[in-house]
Every structure is written in structure tokens, then in C-alpha cells.
Structure 1
Amino acid sequence: MANPAPGGRWSGLSRVSWFLAGLAMTSLAQWTIVTVLARAGSPGLVGQYALGLAVGAPVVLVCGLGLQPVLVTDVAGRFTFHEYLRLRLAGMAVALLAIGVVAYAMGSGGGPVVLLVGVAKALDAVGEIYFGILQRRRAMRTVGLSMALNAALSVVVTTGLLLATGSVAVAALGSVAGSALGSVGYPRWVVRPDLRGAAGAGGWAALRRQRRLVVTALPVGFAYSLTSFTGNVPMYVVQHELGAQALGVFAALSYATMGANLLYAAMYQVLLHRMAELAGAGRLRALRGLVVRLVLGALLFGLAGALVARLAGEVVLGLLYGRDYSRHWPVLVVLALGIGASGALYFVNAALLALHRFQHHLTATLPTLGLVAAASLLLVPRHGLIGAASAAVLALVVEAVTKTLLLRHALARAVGGPGTPPPGDGEPRDRPAAGPAPPERSNVPKVTI
């Protein structure tokens, strides 16, 4: 497959557009499923579906080892595509085993939904490895089409099965079908001709290389899973304290803020490889300036989102979901306050990955998990869904601030000077081998809302 030549700003906008279109289709499909569940069923059905996502996503992420960003930022080609793929397949086998145990323990009430949603997430995780190699080749059109195919199949089959049977468990088969064909089948068919005969080493040498890859990616995998778990902690507490009906309302309101994260995620995926190139070339001042501009833009966008939610939230929720949801518009306002922190977190994460500071993700996530768990247990019983939204926003703010400080330290250390320890394996330097270091500029500002 040909690698498109870079075409400057317009080429970058085109890649963002394709990825944004794919993400928009994916999120629209997920939102459509939630809306159909809310309209044709009840908040309880929405709660079952949300619980399936909340249980399966962290397990898939921890077993997936965060391999996609490691693959995208592996500009030196330390590992082959097949090594990434083999490790991801092994991880998904373990993930499905763990999800199966959880689903069995939950019984017939929510177990089948959890299992099938887990299967769909595992297939999506396998597809991410193909997306990673396509991102490195800047083939974002193929990635966007793959995501759109997954979304279209998922929403059509899932909605049809739900309307025909009224069962969330049967309807979840639609997500499995969409993921199998869209996330795995189509991108595999596209890249297969270019990967024949490139399986890499075998025997003990292959095992040693796989172990090195596990060690490299493990901090990212744990951090991603803990981040997912942290974001779902308020949902777990809502389910326990307020029940499935309240969980369904909270999940539906959360989906209403998804549009902002669509844009952030598209920019993140496209910028990740660009940031890795800047870091690999030692252009840390350019990397720092890019992150500052992105973070400030995200904060302004977040303030605008909160204002829109305050002025039109009740009307929008009524049109989307009905009166049972529109009366909870203050919850939407609180959730909208997290849009700015969410965007800042996307861009700071990309910069840390570009610098190969994989362990920093885990360092920032652990204290955030403890804080959001304590906040959820304290606020949800007292303030209901407002408390759950406040805990969710608090998690975003704390993690964004923590990772911004870690990025500031990483950039300062990479710039270095006399007596500064040299960067480790895969960590970029700020200047070429000869010549003076460029003058220092201001560091990344502390992120706040």
C-alpha cells in the first residue's frame, strides 16, 4: 500500500477529517443504540448496555497493553507489525476469559450483555493494531472507512435485533458483527498484501522480543485500563447506590457530551505520529509550543460547551431522550465542565507518548483512581447524579493537571544541560550531536478549568 506523501497543512486537515468522520460514525452509532434503548425500552435497558461497556472496557484495555500508541510512536521500527499483532491476540484471549468469568458470576440478568459487549470490544482492540500501521502510513482514509463500516453495521443490526426481540443481549450481537467486519475484516484485507512474508524471527528469539515488547508497553496498558476504570467508577457507584434506572439516565447524559471528545480523539490520533516525529528529531520547543496551543484551545472549547449546556441543556435532552431525562439538565452542565480538561488530557497524553514516557501514564492514574473512588462514594449517596458527574469531572481535572506537570518535567529533563542524565532507550534529545543547545522557552502551563 502506498504511503501518501505529506501535503502540508491541507493534508493534515484531510487526515483529521477522515478520522473525525470515522469517529463521528462510531459515536453516532453508539448514541443511536442508547437512544433506541431509551425510546423503545427503558432506562434499565440503557443501564444494562452501559454496564456491559463499563465492565468490558477496562479488562480489554489492560490485556491490550496499550500497544496501538506504542506502535504508532515506534518510528525507529524496533518491533515488527506481526509482533504487535501476536501480542494483542494473546492479550484478547486472556481478556475474553476474564470477561467470561465475570459474566458467569453475574448470571442471566446482565451476564450475556457483558460477554457480548466484551467480545465486540476485543475485536475492536485487534483492529487497533491494523489501524496503528495505517496511521504510521498516514492512510487515515482507510481507518475512517473501517470505523464507518463498523458503525453502520453495528447500528443497523443492533437496532433491528432490539426492535425484533426486545432483548439487549440478542441486540448486542450487532456490535459483534460490526466489529468483526469493520474493525478487523476490512483493514486486514487492505494491509494484507503488504505484510506477506514479514512475520519476523521465530523460536526463542521471538519470545525474547515479545517479552521486551511486553515490558515496553505494559505501563501504557495498565494506565489505559486504570483510566477507563477510573472514568467508570462513578457509574459503578451509581449502579450500587441508585440502581439501574439512574445508571441509564447518567449514561445517556454522558453520551450527550460525546461530540467534543470526537474532535479531541480525531486530533489525538493524527497528531500522535506527528508529535513522535518532532520528539525523534529533537524539536522539543516545537512540540512544547504545539501542546500549549492545543491545551489552551481545549480549555476555551470547554468553557463554550458548559455555556451551551447551561442555556439549552434541558431542551436538547428533551428532544433527544424525553422528559425523564430533560429534568436532569443540571447534571449535563456539570459534565460539560469536564470538556476542557478532557481535551487537555488527550493532547498531554499524546506528548508523553511521543516522548516515550510510558511510565508517566501509570504514575498519574493511580492517585486519580483513589481520589475519584473516594469522591464517588462520598458524593453519590448525598447528591445523586450531580455527585456522580462532579466525581467524573474531578477525575479528568486531577489527571490532566498531574500529567501536565509530568510533561513539564519530562521536557525540561529532555532539554537537559550539564549533569543531566541522558535520555533512555527511545527517548529523544533536544539538540543534535554537535552544536549548542537552542534557547529555552517557557514550559507547558499548569492546566486548570
Structure 2
Amino acid sequence: MVSAPATRWQRNPPRRVARSSGLRKNLAWSLAGNATYAGMQWATVVVIARTGNTEMVGRFSLALAVTAPITLLAAMSLRTVFVTDPSRQCSFGDYLRVRLTSMLLAFIAIAAVSLHFDHQTRDVILVVGIAKTIDGIGDMLVGVFQKMNDMRRIAMSSILNGTLTTGLVAVSLLTTSSITIACWGSVLASTLSSIVYCSVALRRTASRSEAADIREFPIPVDPRSRLVRSRALVLTALPLGLAASISSATWNVPRYVLGAETSITTLGIFSAISYIPTVINIAAAALAQNLLPKLTNMRNAGEGKRARQLVTRILVLAAAMSLVLSLLSYIFAATLLNAVYGHEYAQHAGLLTLLMATTTAGAAGFVLDAALSAQRRFRGQLAANAFACLVCSAFSFSLIPRAGIVGAGIAVAGMTFALLTIKLALFIISARQPLESESSRSG
């Protein structure tokens, strides 16, 4: 790989924010940010369900299911590669150039896919696609804060995004009764939080050597060397991007099949109930977000055994929490659904219990992803997600036509436990192997 021109980052090694703030403080900020964002996403679905109808929920959910795998593939998890990059052979500008190009291609792909749906669903898919590509660009900016271990800025961006999205969607839906117009509120929210806020925050931290690297973009450099670095980034990140895209598509396969085999209304009910267990993923995602730079630093310092012990303790704690939360869900599922969505949804309390048990168990996958990414074992994650996709597809196509919404829940459960088993095996195998050289570490 051709090295990038020396930047202030290389000349002045960064002083890590984490040394003064610590894991607990960063975890608190991550929890606050993720909890608010996920809570507002759920609130948006509740607003659509209460103000609109299950058909609107179905169209909105289908738009998310269509756009997510495409934008995740285009994103290629470059943020993770950027945060875990030990060599810094590529500048932040290289990463941002690749992300801008890939997001443009993502929207073109989303527009092409949307042509296969009716005009109402197509309009919703296009607008949601715009919002997701904007978020994809902002995600790369957020990577600078994560590399600095400045989780407060990341949390503020998430809080702003979630709050604005719910508020603008609610106001638009109440005044126009149009789900398409309401989704434009999400576009505005993404622009303000992912682009405007992050850009302003980066300018305010520009005195730090980490953020100062942003100013290097776009400095004129040899176009050929820049192209070589961009190509190398794509080759490194593509396996992880494919893994993320396949993972998203896997979670959405039951939605695709449910929408095709039943109705958009049934899809709306399943999607609305599925949002409730995501509260479990809030803590798991926040923890994994903080673990990634910490485990990466341990890897670079040769403290592999200590890193494995930390991950093992967290996995044991996650298993205990899974049992407790699954029991609570079994007791209160019907009451919760009736209070949040109404009687029509409360009839499917068993589905919520199944999804809650599945999600709590699968939350350990976030921790395993962080551990494997810190080791830069990207291709292993791709293989695991590809196998899980096959399992989920087999369950979905065989069960949903006969069991409907319950079959969709069983498909999610089968896929989750298959994926968790494979990732745990990969973690155990990687723990027994010495670190690979940098040239082959992406394997």
C-alpha cells in the first residue's frame, strides 16, 4: 500500500481522551446516546402506529429493510477499519473520499430497487434512502471522535438525530397524514445531526492532533497514489462491509418473506413488535462501541490474554442478563403491547416473548464482533454472517407461508443462535492463534 503524505496525526501522536475520562464515563455517554436514539426510533414507530395505521408502519419498515443492507454494504464498515487501523498509512481524507463515493453509489442502487414496488412504497423507500446515505456520511465523521475515545460527541449526535427525527416525523404526519412527507423529516434530522453538528464539533476540536487531520482533506496529492490507497481501503474493508450488509439482510429476510406471503399490515405488526427488544441492543452496542478501541489498544500492546479475559467476563454477564430479561418478558409481554400499540398488537404477546429471548441471547454477538474486529478478523465475520443468512432464509421460506408471523419469529431465533454459535467458535479459535502480520490480518 502506498503511504499517505505525513499529516499532523503522524507527526504528533494523539493524546487519548480515554485516559482522563475512562471506560465508565464513555460507556455512560454511549448508553445515553444509543438509548435515546433507539428510544426515539421506537417512538417514531409508535407515532406512526398511533397516528397512522399498520399499513404505514409496514411501508416504513419495508423501506428500512430495503435501504439498510445497501447502505451498510456501501459503508463497508470503514469507520471500524479507521478506528482499528494501527499503521495509519491512509489519511482520514482517504477514508472520507471512499465513503462519499460509496454513498452516492448506494443511493443509485436504492433508486433502482425501489422501481420494483408500488409508487407509494417507492416514494417512502427513496426518501428513507436519502436519510440513510446522509447518516452514512456522518458515520465517517463520527469515526474521528471514536478514535479519540470522545464518546460524548458521538452520543450528542445520536441524541440529536433521534429526537429531531421523532419530532419532525410526528409533526409532519399530524399535519399531512402522509408517510412520505413525514419521512422527509427524517432527512432533515439526519442532515442537522450527522452533517451539520459533526462538522461544527470537528471544527471545535481542530486544535487536537487527531481532529487536525481533517484539515488535510482535500490537500492536492498524487492522484495515482491516492487511487492506490483508496483501492487498498476497499479491499481491506469490503469483507467487513459484506458481513454487515449480509447481517442486515439476514435480519430482514423474514420481513421480505412476510410482506410477500401475507400483507403489508402483518408486516407492520411484526416490525412494530420487533422494535421493542431493540432496547436490549442499546447496552450491547454501547458496550461494543467502547470495547473496540480498548481491545485494539490491548492488541497493539501485546495484552491479548487480558483482552480475552475481559471479553469472557462480559459474555458471562450477558448470559445472566438474558435469563432475567426473558423471564420478565414472559410475564409482562401482553400488558406492554396493549399499552404501547393497542389491542391489535397485544394478541401477539408470544411473538414478543420469543423475540425478547432471542435478542437478549444475541446481544453477546455485539461483544464478539468487537473482539473479532479488534483482531481484524474481518473475513471470519463475513463467513459467519453468510451462513446465518442461509439459515434464516431456509427457516423463513419454509415456516412463514405456513405459520405466518410466528414463523417469522422462529426464523429470527434460529438465525440468531446459529450466528452466535459461529462467532463464539471464531473467538475461541482466534484466542488460540497468534496475531497475524498486518498484511494478512484482515483474514
- TM-score for the superposition, normalised by structure 2: 0.91
**CA distance in structure 2 between the partners assigned to 1:234 and 1:361 by the alignment:** 21
Of residues 244, 261, 265 in structure 2, which corresponds to 1:224?
244
* Counterpart contact for 1:334–1:386, Cα < 8 Å: no
**CA distance in structure 2 between the partners assigned to 1:264 and 1:178 by the alignment:** 25
SS in 1 for 2:158: helix
**CA distance in structure 2 between the partners assigned to 1:124 and 1:184 by the alignment:** 8
AA at the equivalent of 2:184: L
Q: Please say if 1:6 is aligned against 2:25.
A: no
State the Cα deviation string for residues 418-444 of structure 1 (Å, max 9, x = none).
xxxx5443749xxxxxxxxxxxxxxxx
Query: Structure 1's 4 and 273: CA in aligned 2 closer, same or farther, altered over 3 A?
Result: closer
**CA distance in structure 1 between the partners assigned to 2:411 and 2:333 by the alignment:** 20
Of residues 188, 196, 219 in structure 1, which corresponds to 2:215?
196
Of residues 411, 425, 443 in structure 1, which corresponds to 2:439?
425
SS in 2 for 1:300: helix
**CA distance in structure 1 between the partners assigned to 2:18 and 2:243 by the alignment:** 32
**CA distance in structure 2 between the partners assigned to 1:37 and 1:44 by the alignment:** 9
Q: Please say if 1:293 is aligned against 2:293.
A: no
**CA distance in structure 2 between the partners assigned to 1:400 and 1:338 by the alignment:** 10
AA at the equivalent of 2:102: G
Superposition pairs of residues 18-29 of structure 1, within 5 angstroms: 18-29=29-40
**CA distance in structure 1 between the partners assigned to 2:362 and 2:196 by the alignment:** 31
Superposition pairs of residues 32-431 of structure 1, within 5 angstroms: 32-192=43-203, 193=206, 194=212, 195-199=214-218, 201-414=221-434, 423-425=437-439, 427=441
**CA distance in structure 2 between the partners assigned to 1:38 and 1:228 by the alignment:** 23
- Of 134-143 and 100-109, the range deviating more from structure 2: 100-109
Percent identical among aligned pairs is: 32
Higher relative contact order (CA 8 A, sep 6+): 2
Pairwise CA distance, 1:327: 1.1
- Of 251-260 and 103-112, the range deviating more from structure 2: 103-112
Aligned to 1:434: none
Pairwise CA distance, 1:18: 1.1
Pairwise CA distance, 1:13: 1.3
SS in 2 for 1:356: coil
Query: Structure 1's 31 and 121: CA in aligned 2 closer, same or farther, altered over 3 A?
Result: same
* Counterpart contact for 2:82–2:143, Cα < 8 Å: yes
**CA distance in structure 2 between the partners assigned to 1:344 and 1:149 by the alignment:** 27
Aligned length: 421
**CA distance in structure 1 between the partners assigned to 2:89 and 2:416 by the alignment:** 33
**CA distance in structure 1 between the partners assigned to 2:129 and 2:153 by the alignment:** 25
**CA distance in structure 1 between the partners assigned to 2:23 and 2:305 by the alignment:** 20
**CA distance in structure 2 between the partners assigned to 1:125 and 1:66 by the alignment:** 10
Pairwise CA distance, 1:330: 0.2
**CA distance in structure 1 between the partners assigned to 2:344 and 2:73 by the alignment:** 36
Pairwise CA distance, 1:232: 0.4
Pairwise CA distance, 1:3: 5.2
Pairwise CA distance, 1:306: 1.2
* Counterpart contact for 1:69–1:353, Cα < 8 Å: yes
AA at the equivalent of 2:191: A
State the Cα deviation string for residues 247-297 of structure 1 (Å, max 9, x = none).
111111111111110111111111111011111122111111111111121
